[in-house]
Amino acid sequence: MKVSVIIPAAGLGTRMASAPAGKAAKPAKPAASKQFLELDGVPVLVHTLRQFAKSSEVNEIIVALRQSEIEPFRARLAKDAPEVLKRN
């Protein structure tokens, strides 16, 4: 059986923004979409992809990104997790 993982990652993270402490102001816009926020120096999305890539049951991983993010993310993935790109 073929197993495909589809990861929706085209969101803007607008609900994640929070208002400055002690102010009832409009929430600040996040510096980056949450899927690109870093955890231990690596985007959260890369951590997610690594976990799925480890599974022998997953045949393909499809990441839905905004058009403008595809090439920059592909370059980042090649740097941080080439094993994800080179899966058979």
Name the residue ranges covered by the structural domains of the chain.
Answer: 4-11+32-85
Identify the pLDDT of residue 35. 86
Residue 35 backbone zone (phi > 0: left; psi -120 to 50: alpha; other: beta): alpha
pLDDT confidence tier of residue 59, bands split at 50, 70 and 90: very high
Q: Any idea what DSSP says for residue 5?
A: E
- pLDDT for 5-28, tens place per residue? 999 998 876 666 554 555 554 545
The pLDDT-based confidence of 84 (bands split at 50, 70, 90) is confident
Query: Per-residue DSSP letters for 31-75?
Result: SS-GGGSEETTEEHHHHHHHHHHH-TT--EEEEE--GGGHHHHHH
Of residues 84, 5, 6, the one with CA closest to residue 43: 84
27-50 pLDDT tens trace:
455 556 888 888 898 889 999 999
Q: What pTM, to 2 d.p., does this model score? A: 0.74
Whether 62 and 7 have beta carbons less than 8 Å apart is answered as: yes
